[in-house]
Amino acid sequence: MPLSALFRVGKRGTKFDAQLRSVEAMHSAIEGKLVTLRWVRRSKCGAARKNVLATPDGRAMWPADDALDLTVTLYRAEAGGAFDGKEIKIALDEVVRAGATKTLATARIDLARFADQSGATTRTDCELTLLGEDGRKGRIKLTVAIAPQGALTRTAPDTGEKENTAHLPDDRPARVQAGRSKAGLPPPGSPDPARKAQGATAGAGSKGGGKMAAWERRALGLATDRWLLCLFLLCGVVRGVCLVCCRLRSLGFLASLQKTPS
């Protein structure tokens, strides 16, 4: 049994969804470099969708809609109380080339500090120390949102309003229909007149092709029968000729025997 599992004996685990968003990092190690944002915990990790080019004074920002998303399990005693610590590492990596990165600075954060014991969603602005690989320090600002799994809300990037992603209506069909109407196309699922006419023409051609194929099959069958009949007659003629030749040879042999003096 792993050592961490021993510390969880007699405790109850609760899954939480967490987001680290609106991240702003300031460190001299990232000056003018293309950097990516990651979270790391043991063998698990995740990254922001976009890489950011840091400013010459060592500042990089990720918008609210490009957050670090992760799910964690927080443990506490059956009787209640505070959650046990759950520390993750935030890393700023330089994109050296495609598929290759180099860690420039890291910060650590304990997500259990931000989880509400009653299960409410919390959003907290915090500032952490960003420690470079060379020992120099910087700062990283971010917003930590955490809630029980499936209950986390997010801030819409365009309007700034909070919206629950679990209950958002799917308006994609309406957008598709509006685009097709604007382009003069029929609604999805309805027959396209041009395709319908093309299909009718193709259907007529296929019917005619089917009749011709049947006629060709019949003609081919008759021709095959005639060839078989000719082959059968030819075999009969050859067999008859062979019999006659054998008969003539046998008569010639008897005649030669009769001419031989006794």
Task: Measure the CA–CA gap between 109 and 125, rounded to whole angstroms.
Answer: 12
- The yes-or-no verdict on residue 9 having pLDDT over 90 is no
- Residue pointed to by tokens 């109407």: 181
Q: Which of 30, 23, 35, 53 is nearest to 101 (CA)?
A: 35
Q: Averaged over 24-39, what is the pLDDT?
A: 96
- Reported as type and span, the H/E element at residue 259 is helix 193-259
Residue 151 pLDDT grade (very low, low, confident, very high; cuts 50, 70, 90) = confident
Tokens coding 216:
């060709």
Tens of pLDDT, residues 43-86: 999 999 999 999 999 999 999 999 999 999 999 988 888 899 99
Write down the pLDDT at residue 251: 77
Q: Averaged over 195-224, what is the pLDDT?
A: 57
Write down the pLDDT at residue 222: 67
- The yes-or-no verdict on residue 10 having pLDDT over 50 is yes
Write down the pLDDT at residue 158: 41
Write down the pLDDT at residue 206: 46
**Strand, helix or coil for residue 144:** strand
109 forms beta bridges with 88
More confident residue, 232 or 100: 100
- The yes-or-no verdict on residue 254 having pLDDT over 70 is no
Q: Averaged over 201-218, what is the pLDDT?
A: 54
Write down the pLDDT at residue 126: 95
Fill in the DSSP letter of residue 185.
P
Q: Is 123:145 a contact under the CB 8 Å cutoff?
A: yes
What does the angle CA 23 – CA 28 – CA 34 come to, to the nearest 5 degrees?
60
- Residue pointed to by tokens 């598929």: 99
Q: Averaged over 137-153, what is the pLDDT?
A: 92
Q: Is 74:111 a contact under the CB 8 Å cutoff?
A: yes
More confident residue, 14 or 191: 14
Q: Which of 18, 137, 129, 39 is nearest to 93 (CA)?
A: 39
Distance of CA 181 to the CA centre of its chain: 30
